Amino acid sequence: MNQPLPTPCNTGSTIRQRGQHEVFCGLTSIIWLHRKIPDAFFLVVGSRTCAHLIQSAAGVMIFSEPRFATAIMDERDLAGMADMHDELDEVVEKLLERRPEIRMLVLVGSCPSEVIKFDLGRAAERLNARYASRPRVLCYSGSGIETTFTQGEDNFLAALVRGLPGDIRSGRPAQLVVAGSLADVVEDQMARLLADLGIEDVVFLPGRSSDVLAPIGPQTRYVLAQPYLGATAAALESAGARRIDGIFPLGEEGTTAWLQAIATTFGVSASRFEAVTAAPRRRAREATAHYRPWIEGKRIFLFPDSQMEPSLARYLNRELDAEIIEVGSPYLHREHVAGELAMLPPGVSISEGQDVEVQIDRCRAARPDLIVCGMGLANPFEAQGLVTKWSIEFAFTPIQGYEQAGDLAELFARPLMRQGLLSGAAS
Nearer to ligand SF4, 143 or 288 (CB): 143
Query: To the nearest whole angstrom, how small is the minimum distance from the Cβ of residue 357 to ligand SF4?
Result: 20
* From 37, 50, 325, 409, residue interacting with ligand SF4 (rule: CB under 6 A): 50
Per-residue x/- track, 6-25, ligand SF4 (CB under 6 A): -------------------x
46 binds ligand SF4 per the rule CB under 6 A: yes
Give the type of residue at 414.
R
374 binds ligand SF4 per the rule CB under 6 A: no
353 binds ligand SF4 per the rule CB under 6 A: no
55 binds ligand SF4 per the rule CB under 6 A: no
| CA pair distance 258, 176, nearest whole angstrom | 13
Nearer to ligand SF4, 47 or 277 (CB): 47
* From 47, 232, 277, 317, residue interacting with ligand SF4 (rule: CB under 6 A): 47
Buried b (16+ CB within 10 A) or exposed e, 55-85: bebbeeeeeeeebbbbbbbeeeeeeeeeebe
* From 11, 17, 23, 27, residue interacting with ligand SF4 (rule: CB under 6 A): 27
Residue 233 near residue 212, CB atoms below 8 Å: no
Closest residue by beta carbon to ligand SF4: 144
| CA pair distance 341, 9, nearest whole angstrom | 6
The reply to whether 50 sits in an annotated binding site is yes
Nearer to ligand SF4, 143 or 317 (CB): 143
Give the type of residue at 194.
L
411 binds ligand SF4 per the rule CB under 6 A: no
Residue 299 near residue 366, CB atoms below 8 Å: yes
70 binds ligand SF4 per the rule CB under 6 A: no
What value, to the nearest 5°, has the Cα angle with vertex 53 and ends 50 and 56? 145
The reply to whether 139 sits in an annotated binding site is no
**Strand arrangement, sheet containing 40-46:** 68-72, 40-46, 104-109, 136-141
Nearer to ligand SF4, 30 or 214 (CB): 30
30 binds ligand SF4 per the rule CB under 6 A: no
227 binds ligand SF4 per the rule CB under 6 A: no
Per-residue x/- track, 115-154, ligand SF4 (CB under 6 A): ---------------------------xxx----------
111 binds ligand SF4 per the rule CB under 6 A: yes
53 binds ligand SF4 per the rule CB under 6 A: yes
Binding residues for ligand SF4, per CB under 6 A? 25, 27, 46-47, 49-50, 53, 110-112, 142-144
Binding-site residues for [4Fe-4S] cluster sit at: 25, 50, 111
